[in-house]
Amino acid sequence: MGITVTADFVRALNATVRSVYDDAFASASGVWQEIATVMPSTQSEEPYAWIGEIPTMREFLDERTIKALKEYGFTIRNKTWEATIGVKREALEDEQTGQLRARVMGLAEAASAHYDELLFNLIASGGSANCYDGTPFYGNSHPGGGDNLTDLPFSASALKTVLAAMQRQVTPSTGEPMNVRPSHLLVPPELEFTALEVLNSALNPDSSGGQNRVNALHGRLKVVVSARLASSSEWHVLDCTHAVKPFIVQQRVAAELSELTENSESGFMRDEFLYGVRSRDNAGFGLWQYAYCSTGDAS
């Protein structure tokens, strides 16, 4: 019989579309939600001069020692992004709202995937793009002699080496341990099952250490797999237990849905309703001490 597309119908439809979008976005899984800190933004760009200054407690003798901002830092500039779908009026008149629902859910998934894209483009640049201390995020020349880059192929013994190195990281200004607690292992699909064997096997998976011995790495880290990693051999150990994680997703305007419907130019001139997602955001590096990368390409 069909539907008459009235103003009341459009208002009800838009409310349903927003609900579908919100539910789909909330249920969409993304790596960014696990390994990045979401930072709100109130302007076109945000300075992070504070990020390298980690305070430590001291005895209160005469007066407080105020930790000034370091001379180094960085800025994350927001960019604007969008994704839009068009729905012909005839499709609504012919009760094809199920197709609209599926397309809106696809918009929500694309919005969540957008943050993963920002994050992994950032990770891919980690060997060359500078972090807060003016050196590449992944490198062996951080001030104070710190490093978080190796070329060890992934194995149980290589993972133990990286874990020990991370837990030895200290605050550059005081030399105090940073209480690094590695929590996640990020790998490409090619290393997924090897990583699961190393971290989920009850017995030692490394034959060089005796396979009948208890696996000390059992349950030590959460394995996160992403095909967005550029190399099939790289692997990353991350500490995501602190307020500031290794990576930052900055949101000026979180991905939100809007519509141009019956009374818009599109609705009148082209007999088409538009639904779109828009965001203003970007990604940047957090503390390099909370991340360790291996290219995995040692000969």
Question: pLDDT by residue (tens digit) across 68-85?
Answer: 434 455 789 999 999 998
Q: With contact defined as beta carbons under 8 Å apart, do 286 and 238 qualify?
A: no
Torsion angles phi and psi, residue 146, rounded to 5: -75, 155
Distance between CA atoms of residues 146 and 182, nearest Å: 17
* pLDDT tens-place string over residues 32-51: 999 999 999 999 999 887 77
Domains for the chain: give ranges and CATH numbers: 7-294 (3.90.1690)
Residue 1 has pLDDT above 80, yes or no: no
Displacement of CA 233 from its chain's centroid (Å): 20
Residue 54 has pLDDT above 70, yes or no: no
Residue 67 has pLDDT above 50, yes or no: no
Displacement of CA 175 from its chain's centroid (Å): 29
* pLDDT tens-place string over residues 212-256: 788 999 999 999 999 999 999 999 999 999 999 999 999 999 998
Other Cβ atoms less than 10 A from the Cβ of 84: the count is: 12
User: Is the pLDDT higher at 273 or at 138?
Assistant: 138
Please tell me what DSSP assigns to residue 69.
P
Q: With contact defined as beta carbons under 8 Å apart, do 261 and 267 qualify?
A: yes
